[in-house]
């Protein structure tokens, strides 16, 4: 589970209206993802939100199934003009378990998702099982800074419990980069690429391969 689907359904319209906080970091992430996808790959995106990333990756030629458990998010994704032209991108409303069951996949994408999971270890294990040998998980996750960090980050962290009680923010479990990467390795993956896009606080980009 990724918290409450009701929360994301309530906030779908506002989420869709938000601008990306760091467009350069987002473009850098897309560039690195494209380097790992090939035409004809079967790709699963978990927690796709309103579908922006899946649609931006349509030019890779991969077949992308983009899933989110909030039906309002999927409705917004399907309504985008780009969706009609992206024949190899399909959108589905449903839980992670239902999406993973449609494997095996060549790659699983999980952007801005892992810190929202109720059980990170279990989901990583499920993703591992849904990948073909040699398949990849590509993720990007906000993490705790090892030290310091922007003032705005600390202000938001201080306000987070109140925002969550008011229903304005989802439950989340932020980890340090080292802890996140340890969880990925514990699930049986070999990490082959990492980066921070942006650096502070770190949004850790991880590409990891299932051996085989």
Angle separating helix axes 71-79 and 5-17, nearest 10 degrees: 30
Q: Is the pLDDT of residue 152 over 50?
A: yes
Domain that holds residue 85: 5-209
24, 155, 170 from 152: Cα distances, Å = 19, 5, 18
Q: Is the pLDDT of residue 2 over 50?
A: no
What integer best gives the mean pLDDT of the chain? 90
Handedness of CA 18, 113, 146, 195 (dihedral sign): negative
Tokens read off for 32:
């690195």
The answer to whether 173 touches 144, Cβ cutoff 8 Å, is: no
pLDDT tens by residue, 48-83: 999 999 999 999 999 999 999 999 999 999 999 999
The CATH number for 185's domain is 3.40.50.150
CA atoms of 112 and 164, how far apart (whole Å): 18
In this structure, the number of other CB atoms found within 10 A of the CB of residue 166 comes to: 8
Pairing verdict, β 63-68 and 89-93? parallel
pLDDT tens by residue, 107-125: 999 999 999 998 999 999 9
The single residue listed with the structure tokens 């199934």 is: 65
pTM of the model: 0.89
Predicted pLDDT at 176: 95
User: What does the DSSP 8-state code read for residue 19?
Assistant: P
Interval 156-171 mean pLDDT: 68
How many domains are there within the chain? 1
For the chain, strand residue ranges (E) read: 42-46, 63-68, 89-93, 105-111, 131-142, 190-196, 203-209
For 123, list phi and psi in degrees, rounded to 5.
-70, -40
Closest CA to 152 of 37, 1, 21, 10: 21
Interval 197-212 mean pLDDT: 94
């Amino acid at each position: 589970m990724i918290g409450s689907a009701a929360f994301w359904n309530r906030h779908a319209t506002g989420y869709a209206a938000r601008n990306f906080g760091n467009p350069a970091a987002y473009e850098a992430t897309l560039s690195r993802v494209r380097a790992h996808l090939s035409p004809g790959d079967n790709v699963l995106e978990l927690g796709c939100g309103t579908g922006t990333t899946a649609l931006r990756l349509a030019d890779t030629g991969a077949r992308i199934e983009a899933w989110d458990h909030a039906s309002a998010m999927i409705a917004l994704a399907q309504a985008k003009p780009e969706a009609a032209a992206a024949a190899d991108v399909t959108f589905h409303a449903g839980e992670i378990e239902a999406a993973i069951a449609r494997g095996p996949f060549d790659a699983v994408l999980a952007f801005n998702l892992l810190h929202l999971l109720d059980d990170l270890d279990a989901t990583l294990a499920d993703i591992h099982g849904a990948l073909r040998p040699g398949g990849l998980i590509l993720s990007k996750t906000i993490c705790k800074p090892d030290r310091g960090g922007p003032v705005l980050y600390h202000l938001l962290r201080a306000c987070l419990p109140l925002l969550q009680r008011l229903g304005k923010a989802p439950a989340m479990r932020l980890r340090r980069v080292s802890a996140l990467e340890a969880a990925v390795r514990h699930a049986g993956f070999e990490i082959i690429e990492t980066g921070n896009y942006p650096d502070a606080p770190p949004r850790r980009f991880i590409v990891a391969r299932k051996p085989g």
